[in-house]
């Protein structure tokens, strides 16, 4: 039964991801058609075609390898400025120049008589920006909708400044995770020694008021070791107790996985409640997560080194590091097979898909080909050049020739393929797990 649940969880995530990819491509397709670009194909997946149907001038289909999708627009690359149908075309035997020439020829072969004004490269720069930014924009919209469902519908776990559990002994964080029971040689925790009880509300630390659990936790940590006064409310009555805090090495509140040295340890766990958030809180949450995702993307080379070491040296996978589709699917299967309540499982899948949509949106905005951001950057540069020419009364410059960047594009694509293969391998031999 557990195996079938794991398979079902993997398939649920995969279907959700393919729907997200399909909507990403619709984000390109709709403005492309709206601006008159001919789109011969709309495909979800890669490889051999599983199913397709033609509607109008566009073939819609699904391919066997569920690792992405694409729409094919005619005239993505402009012809060489020197191309003249009445003259022999100049060619080059250079490897990179040959690749560029072949790519141009392939792009021009799809242009039929009457398509001269339906090619992508002839469209105004702002239309190119809208077409190419439409895919990532769709991912951001999907992420916002899914995060709204999660935060406004299910709610989020909020740690209250109320004591739920008092740790009886002063164990280190690692030792407590291995065995939460206290031994005869273990000393009482500062909270136990100060006789804190479940239900006590922490309202102040060292005379400073705290409004929530995060503020209380940070104040306790910043105190380090030594005596600290803890203001509490017990059964509606204000009390002040003195706790002799112990300095410990504990996981950072700001950077999961990092250890903060010698922070103050009290020994209490907070009451956790589910609270539904407002639409404004969804925007703030997604904004913070987008910033964090962009920062993680800048550290991707460093993180991929960790993935390599985990794959080939047996190092533990960083739970906050990169993860591929296979790894995310495995986590989905692990959740489906867990004993968590059904609503918690649904909430997790919503969060997983929302996070992937956000990551896809941010990644695709990188100003490098073949990502959408590379085309957006080229269109914006074309707009700058033409705007400058208009201001200085100079002749209108030609279209920005992104074909010249194809050697770099092939290099980036090769790196992406290597990263994808490495992630798949690491997700199989040393996957990220929710527990342990």
Instruction: Cite the active site residues.
Output: 25
C-alpha 186 chain-centroid distance? 43
Residues 6+ apart with CB under 8 A from 343: 154
* DSSP E strand stretches across 124-213: 156-166, 201-205, 208-209
Question: Rounded to whole angstroms, what are the CA distances from 106 to 65, 75, 102, 110, 369?
Answer: 24, 9, 6, 7, 18
Running DSSP on this structure, what letter comes out for residue 74?
T
Whose tokens are 């993997």? That residue is 10
3-state helix, strand, coil in the chain (%, to 5): 50, 20, 30
Beta strands 208-209 and 201-205 are: antiparallel
Q: Quick check: 210 and 204 in contact, CB under 8 A? A: yes
CB 228 within 8 A of CB 217: no
Cα separation, 269 vs 409, in Å, equals 51
For 185, counting Cβ atoms within 10 Å of its Cβ (0-12 exposed, 13-18 middle, 19+ buried), the class is exposed
For 159, the token pair is 């740690």
Q: Dihedral through CA 303, CA 304, CA 305, CA 311, nearest 10?
A: 120
Strand, coil or helix: what is 70? strand
Nearest-angstrom CA–CA distance, 401 and 192: 70
For residues 327 and 15, what is the distance between their CA atoms, to the nearest angstrom? 15
Helix (H, G, I), strand (E, B) or coil at 433: coil
Contact 371, 363 (CB under 8 A): yes
Q: Using an 8 Å Cβ cutoff, are 188 and 169 in contact?
A: yes
């Amino acid at each position: 039964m557990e195996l079938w649940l794991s398979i079902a969880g993997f398939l649920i995530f995969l279907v959700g991801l393919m729907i997200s990819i399909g909507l990403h491509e619709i984000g390109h397709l709709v403005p492309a058609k709206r601006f008159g670009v001919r789109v011969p194909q709309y495909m979800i997946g890669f490889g051999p075609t599983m199913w397709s149907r033609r509607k109008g001038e566009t073939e819609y289909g699904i391919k066997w390898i569920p690792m992405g999708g694409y729409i094919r627009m005619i005239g993505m690359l402009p012809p060489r400025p020197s191309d003249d149908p009445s003259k022999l075309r100049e060619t080059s035997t250079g490897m990179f120049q040959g690749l560029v020439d072949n790519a141009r020829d392939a792009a021009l072969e799809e242009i039929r008589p009457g398509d001269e004004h339906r090619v992508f490269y002839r469209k105004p720069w702002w239309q190119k920006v809208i077409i190419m930014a439409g895919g990532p924009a769709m991912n951001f919209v999907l992420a916002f909708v899914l995060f709204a469902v999660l935060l406004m519908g299910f709610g989020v776990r909020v740690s209250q400044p109320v004591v739920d559990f008092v740790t009886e002994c002063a164990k280190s964080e690692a030792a407590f995770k291995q065995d939460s029971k206290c031994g005869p040689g273990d000393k009482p925790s500062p909270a136990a020694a100060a006789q804190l009880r479940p239900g006590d509300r922490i309202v102040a630390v060292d005379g400073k008021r705290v409004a929530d659990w995060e503020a209380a936790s940070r104040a306790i940590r910043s105190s380090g070791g030594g005596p600290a006064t803890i203001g509490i409310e017990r059964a509606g009555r204000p009390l002040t107790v003195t706790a002799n805090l112990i300095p410990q090495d504990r996981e950072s509140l700001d950077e999961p996985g990092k250890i903060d040295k010698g922070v103050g340890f009290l020994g209490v766990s907070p009451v956790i409640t589910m609270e539904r958030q407002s639409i404004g809180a969804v925007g703030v949450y997604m904004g913070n997560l987008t910033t964090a995702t962009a920062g993680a993307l800048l550290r991707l080379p460093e993180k991929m080194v960790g993935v390599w070491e985990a794959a080939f040296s047996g190092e533990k996978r960083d739970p906050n590091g990169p993860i591929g589709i296979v790894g995310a699917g495995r986590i989905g299967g692990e959740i489906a097979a867990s004993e968590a309540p059904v609503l918690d499982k649904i909430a997790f899948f919503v969060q997983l898909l929302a996070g992937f949509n956000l990551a896809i949106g941010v990644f695709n905005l990188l100003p490098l080909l073949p990502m959408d951001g590379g085309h957006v950057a080229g269109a914006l540069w074309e707009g700058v050049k033409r705007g400058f020419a208009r201001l200085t009364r100079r002749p209108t410059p030609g279209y920005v020739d992104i074909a010249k960047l194809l050697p770099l594009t092939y290099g980036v694509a090769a790196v992406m393929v290597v990263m994808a293969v490495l992630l798949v391998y690491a997700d199989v031999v040393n996957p990220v797990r929710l527990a342990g």
